[in-house]
């Protein structure tokens, strides 16, 4: 797949990309439509020929040749349209699939920070809107733009057989009408853009509220959300009305031009007949072709307006979806080769995109096969360190090395394969438990999945589920409790069997009994691996080899847990606070306590 970012502000080039991908079928549609329109216009000439034949003396000519020619034109016209539609029914649908696949591939290539700043509903609606816009533009071009253009050219050519001046005049007037309407349509592009933006906001608002409906109801926010949604819909409806009123102005202008021009053509043809410069068939030809040209220019003008509107929507969606990836594999990136997973943070500087600095000239070495706990107050840099090791962000300077290899010079896929993580907020895909546990290692057998589930102490609750491991867990795993979801995440890490294991508050949602039940399993999981664990419950780190206390992006204490407990410092303070929580004094305000 080529770099889609080159199409960010080029919707027509993006559209042409998919025409080239299926050029044979698109060419077949083009040829068939041109032929169908050609026969359709020729039908008008066939009628003229039949009328002139019938007007002649019966003994001088037979009408059957003209009749057969007219029937041939009518049959070819109808059959070729069906052939074109048959090909298009496959081709245009396949293009929408190509568009969605490419956009989904590009969208999922963004770093997590990209999704943190955007509503999922807005992004998914943009993907759908883009594929629908491409489908609509293709259909409109094939059935509403191309046919009127060909019909106008063919009709004017036949009119020239009656009067060259009439055909020339009609050409000039039709051209002026089409150009004028198209320019006025283009002037309405900001209105169409605004409508597309407001429509996407409605989708995003709905997904945001529905996705957090438990929170909304818990805090009695339904009425507020209804008011907020109604205001969003009102803005969308206003934008849509402005867009539609602009279209109606164009249609009204074209209707006035059509009436005036048709009267002029009829008067001109009647005058030619009075001068015996035109036959009765010519009069019929002028009437039918004149109406065809005027209808064609009307259809073309309306189609151009609609295409402009859909192109605006396409452009707006592409601007959101096709932004460049923040993180990319280096052009010479190689696969990460791990021999034990020694991790080194070397002279590392890092600030978040909004400007908040976390690390400045940070250095830390984690030996392979060691269990290291990261502790400290919130905001000290613990979670950021784990995110940087997974290369969710790039450093401003410095390096992160795994077994001597700079992770910025390795492929993202190989880095992900080397790391297993049990996150604090465990979310699951709306699939079966079996699929969720197997997600990190798709080739694992069912027996291996079940062994991992047992090792993570999932089997007690799995046995009570209606379909066992085949139970669908619901959106983000909502059918399971928080503790059950974390056990599934631990089972997933068991199965993945990576040399680096990241535990981000891995037991925070478990009660004491459940935590004890999986501690032995975690011990087996951590054996022989490089383990980095973030924990506020420091009791989970009591058997670790090393504790690192972070404060404001700096290491303020470093050593094994027993040694750190023997000296005054932040680690012993944190342990003491955990064991002996502050006593309640009964005072509501500190200032009132003596």
* CATH code, domain with 71: 1.20.1560.10
Confidence at residue 592, expressed as pLDDT on a 0 to 100 scale: 39
Q: Do 273 and 368 belong to one domain?
A: no
User: For the chain, what is the domain count?
Assistant: 2
Average the pLDDT over 264-292 and give the result.
72
How many C-beta atoms lie closer than 10 Å to residue 382's C-beta? 24
Q: Are residues 312 and 396 in the same domain?
A: no
Task: Give the closest residue to 423 by CA, choosing from 450, 468, 387, 399.
Answer: 387
Quote the Cα angle for 572-345-324, to 5°.
120
Relative to beta strand 343-351, strand 397-402 is antiparallel
> What CATH number does the domain containing 368 carry?
3.40.50.300
Closest CA to 349 of 362, 332, 333, 365: 362
Residue 305 included in any domain: yes
**CB contact at 8 A, 83 and 32:** yes
Cβ atoms of 424 and 374 closer than 8 Å: no
Count CB neighbours of 489 within 10 A.
28
Q: What count of Cα atoms within 13 Å lies in the side-chain half-sphere of residue 265?
A: 32
* Rounded-to-integer distance, Cα 29 and Cα 20, Å: 13
pTM greater than 0.85: no
Q: What is the mean pLDDT of residues 473-499?
A: 83
Do the domain assignments include residue 329? no
324 within 8 A of 106, measured Cβ to Cβ: no
Token digits for 566? 């023997």
What's the pLDDT band for 26 if we cut at 50, 70, 90? Answer: very high
Q: Are residues 317 and 347 in the same domain?
A: no
Residue 505, judged by CB atoms within 10 A of its CB (0-12, 13-18, 19+), counts as buried
pLDDT of residue 512: 61
Q: Are 420 and 493 in contact (CB under 8 A)?
A: yes
Rounded-to-integer distance, Cα 496 and Cα 499, Å: 9
- Reported as a single tens digit per residue, the pLDDT across 530-577 is 889 887 777 777 788 899 999 888 999 888 888 888 888 888 888 777
Cα(143)–Cα(217) distance, integer angstroms: 49
Question: What is the rounded radius of gyration, in angstroms, for the C-alpha atoms of the chain?
Answer: 36
User: Measured between alpha carbons, how far is 469 from 458 in angstroms, rounded to an integer?
Assistant: 10
Angstrom CA distances, 256 to 107, 173, 238, 247, 261, stand at 47, 13, 28, 15, 9
Q: What's the mean per-residue pLDDT of the chain? A: 80
Is 337 domain-assigned? no
Quote the CA–CA distance of 450 and 494 in Å, as a whole number: 11
Tokens (6 digits) for 234: 């009102």
**Per-residue pLDDT at 587:** 42
Judge if 392 and 487 occupy the same domain. Answer: yes
Decide: 525 and 501 in contact? Cβ < 8 Å.
Answer: yes
Task: State the pairing for strand pair 371-375/530-534.
Answer: parallel
What's the pLDDT score for residue 55? 67
Q: Are residues 39 and 79 in the same domain?
A: yes
405 forms bridges with which residues in the sheet?
Answer: 402
- 3-state DSSP call for residue 60? coil
> 64 and 180 share a domain?
yes
Q: Do 381 and 358 form a contact (C-beta atoms < 8 A)? A: yes
Pair (366, 307) in one structural domain:
no
Contact between 77 and 154 (Cβ < 8 Å): no
Per-residue buried b or exposed e for 550-560, using 16+ beta carbons within 10 Å of the residue's own CB = beebebebebe
Digit-coded pLDDT (tens) for 144-195: 888 888 888 887 887 777 778 877 877 787 777 777 777 776 677 677 777 8
Mention every residue, 6+ apart, whose C-beta is less than 8 A from residue 124. Answer: 203, 207
Percent of the chain predicted with pLDDT > 90: 7
Co-location of 513 and 429 in the same domain: yes
Instruction: Identify the residue with better confidence: 111 or 149.
Output: 149
Q: Is residue 331 part of a domain?
A: no
Full residue range of the structural domain in which residue 367 is found = 343-578
pLDDT tens, residue by residue, 2-22: 577 888 878 888 888 889 889
Which residues, at least 6 apart from 543, have a Cβ–Cβ distance to it below 8 Å?
Answer: 371, 523
Three-state SS letters, 173-242? HHHHHHHHHHHHHHHCHHHHHHHHHHHHHHHHHHHHHHHCHHHHHHCCCHHHHHHHHHHHHHHHHHHHHH
pLDDT digits over 269-280, tens only?
777 767 777 666
State residue 593's pLDDT score.
Answer: 38
CA quadruple 325, 328, 331, 335: dihedral sign: negative
CB 495 within 8 A of CB 440: yes
On whether both 312 and 385 belong to a single domain, the answer is: no
pLDDT band per the 50, 70, 90 thresholds, residue 120: confident
Amino acid 589: pLDDT: 40
| pLDDT at residue number 585 | 45
Tokens of 503: 């535990």
Q: Check if the beta carbon of residue 285 is closer than 8 Å to that of residue 238.
A: no
Question: Which residues contact residue 410 at a Cβ distance below 8 angstroms, ignoring those fewer than 6 apart?
Answer: 333, 334, 335, 336, 402
Task: Tell which residue, 407, 473, 398, has the closest CA to residue 439.
Answer: 473
3 state DSSP class of 273: helix
Structural domain ending residue among the three candidates 321, 354, 386: 321
Same domain (yes/no): 301, 434: no
How far is the C-alpha of 347 from the C-alpha of 332, rounded, in Å? Answer: 23
In-domain check, residue 336: no
Residues 251 and 362 in one domain: no
334 in any annotated domain: no
540 within 8 A of 507, measured Cβ to Cβ: yes
Burial class (CB in 10 A: 0-12, 13-18, 19+), 349: middle
For range 360-371, the mean pLDDT: 89
172 shares a domain with 68 = yes
The answer to whether the beta carbons of residues 5 and 322 sit under 8 Å apart is yes
Residue 592 belongs to some domain of the structure: no
Quick check: 395 pLDDT over 50?
yes
When pLDDT is cut at 50, 70 and 90, the band that residue 33 belongs to is very high
Token duo for residue 476: 């983000």
- The pLDDT confidence band at residue 518, using thresholds 50, 70 and 90, is low
Residue 57 counted as domain residue: yes
Q: Is the pLDDT at 298 greater than 70, yes or no?
A: no
């Amino acid at each position: 797949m080529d770099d889609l970012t080159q199409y960010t502000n080029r919707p027509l080039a993006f559209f042409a990309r998919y025409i080239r991908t299926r050029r044979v079928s698109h060419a077949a549609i083009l040829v068939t439509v041109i032929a169908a329109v050609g026969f359709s216009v020729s039908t008008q000439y066939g009628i003229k020929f039949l009328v002139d034949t019938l007007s002649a003396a019966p003994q001088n000519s037979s009408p059957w040749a003209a009749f057969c020619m007219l029937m041939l034109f009518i049959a070819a016209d109808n059959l070729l349209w069906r052939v074109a539609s048959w090909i298009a029914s496959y081709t245009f649908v396949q293009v929408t699939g190509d568009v969605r696949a490419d956009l989904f591939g590009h969208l999922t290539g963004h770093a997590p920070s990209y999704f943190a700043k955007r509503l999922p509903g807005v992004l998914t609606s943009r993907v759908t809107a883009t594929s629908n816009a491409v489908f609509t533009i293709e259909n409109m071009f094939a059935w509403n733009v191309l046919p009127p253009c060909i019909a106008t050219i063919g009709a004017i050519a036949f009119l020239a057989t009656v009067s060259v001046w009439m055909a020339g005049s009609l050409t000039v007037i039709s051209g002026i009408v089409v150009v004028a309407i198209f320019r006025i349509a283009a002037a309405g592009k900001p209105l169409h853009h605004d409508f597309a933006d407001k429509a996407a906001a409605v989708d995003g608002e709905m997904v945001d509220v529905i996705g957090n409906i438990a929170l909304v109801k818990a805090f009695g926010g339904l009425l507020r959300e209804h008011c907020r949604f109604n205001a969003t819909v009102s803005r969308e409806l206003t934008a849509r009305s402005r867009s539609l009123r602009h279209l109606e102005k164009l249609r009204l202008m074209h209707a006035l031009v059509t009436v005036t021009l048709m009267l002029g053509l009829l008067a001109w043809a009647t005058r030619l007949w009075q001068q015996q410069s035109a036959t009765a068939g010519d009069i019929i030809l002028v009437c039918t072709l004149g109406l065809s040209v005027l209808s064609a220019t009307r259809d073309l003008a309306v189609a151009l307006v609609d295409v402009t509107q859909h192109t605006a929507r396409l452009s707006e969606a592409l601007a959101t979806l096709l932004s460049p990836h923040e993180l990319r594999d280096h052009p010479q990136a190689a696969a990460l080769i791990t021999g034990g997973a020694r991790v080194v943070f070397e002279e590392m500087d890092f600030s978040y995109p909004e400007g908040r600095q976390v690390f400045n000239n940070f250095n830390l070495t984690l030996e392979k096969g060691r269990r290291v706990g990261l502790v400290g107050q919130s905001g000290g840099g613990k979670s950021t360190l784990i995110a940087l090791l997974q290369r969710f962000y790039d450093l401003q300077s410095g390096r992160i090395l795994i077994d001597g290899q700079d992770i910025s010079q390795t492929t993202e896929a190989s880095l992900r394969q080397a790391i297993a993580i049990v996150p604090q907020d465990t979310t699951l895909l709306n699939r079966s438990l079996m699929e969720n546990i197997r997600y990190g290692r798709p080739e694992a057998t069912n027996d291996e999945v079940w062994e991992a589930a047992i090792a993570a102490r999932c089997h007690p609750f799995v046995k009570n589920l209606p379909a066992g491991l085949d139970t669908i867990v619901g959106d983000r795993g909502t059918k399971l409790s928080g503790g059950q979801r974390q056990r599934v995440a631990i089972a997933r890490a068991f199965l993945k069997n990576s040399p680096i294991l990241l535990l981000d508050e891995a037991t925070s949602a478990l009660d004491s009994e459940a935590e004890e039940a999986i501690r032995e399993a975690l011990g087996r999981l951590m054996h022989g691996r490089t383990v980095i664990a973030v924990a506020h419950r420091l009791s989970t780190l009591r058997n670790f080899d090393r504790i690192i206390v972070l404060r404001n992006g700096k290491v303020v204490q470093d050593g094994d847990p027993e040694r750190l407990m023997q000296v005054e410092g932040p680690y012993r303070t944190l342990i003491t606070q955990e064991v002996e929580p502050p006593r309640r004094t009964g005072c509501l305000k500190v200032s009132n306590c003596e």
